[in-house]
Amino acid sequence: MPGQMRQSIWQGYGPQPLQGQANAALCARSNAYPIETYQTPRLNLSKTYFGIELVPARPGYVAAPRSRFWVVSSVSGVQTTPPNTQAGSDAAHLNFMISGTVGLSNAQVNAGVAPPFVAGANTANSGAALFPNTPVYLDVTVAGQGTGGYILVASLAVTVEWIALELGQ
């Protein structure tokens, strides 16, 4: 019976029909990958970085950005210019997280909150072309600047939802 056939269990081998091959065209499928969180090493954001692999590639899948956080682990001195960051799997590294300084503004960094603290990061990009089978890379395009021996150390944590783009019909 269809109700019983719906009791298929995710096996971990990839997108799987809910009701068997005969009804594949009419069934949604369980994706192979769970929601995952990736976090960079701690970055000295008073420096620039290019091409840090933020999210790995998975064949046939794209990583849709969900939550994005800076985990600030230390602040020294006073920040006068915030670091600018962006991330993507496209050539410009922009189609995952748009360019900006969200979460690391001067006001937030200099607020005197003792690390570690967490702040939301840049807005997720939507509507941009996606590239399956391609890692998402993070760039720090503008280094943070400051006075008094300024150093800002933080890591970026992103949660991704994997979406298959090569399922066929």
Residues that bind another protein (CB under 8 A): 33-44, 49, 51-59, 66-67, 69, 71-73, 108, 111, 113-120, 135, 138, 153, 155-159
Fill in the amino acid letter for 42.
R
Residue 29 CB, nearest approach to another protein (Å):
18
Whichever of 130 and 139 has its CB closer to another protein, that residue is: 139
CA dihedral 162, 38, 134, 45 (to 10 degrees): 140
Please identify, using beta-carbon distances, which residue of 9 and 25 lies nearer to another protein: 9
Taking phi over 0 as left and psi of -120 to 50 as alpha, with beta for the rest, 97 belongs to beta
Closer to another protein by Cβ: residue 64 or 94: 64
* Residue 97 CB, nearest approach to another protein (Å): 13
Least Å from the CB of residue 23 to another protein: 28
Question: For residues 116 and 148, which CB has a smaller minimum distance to another protein in the complex?
Answer: 116
- Structure token pair of residue 6: 């719906």
Distance CA 143, CA 41 (A): 17
Closest CA to 138 of 152, 162, 122: 122
Contacts of 13 (CB under 8 A, 6+ apart): 32
Q: From the CB of 17, what's the least distance to another protein, in Å?
A: 22
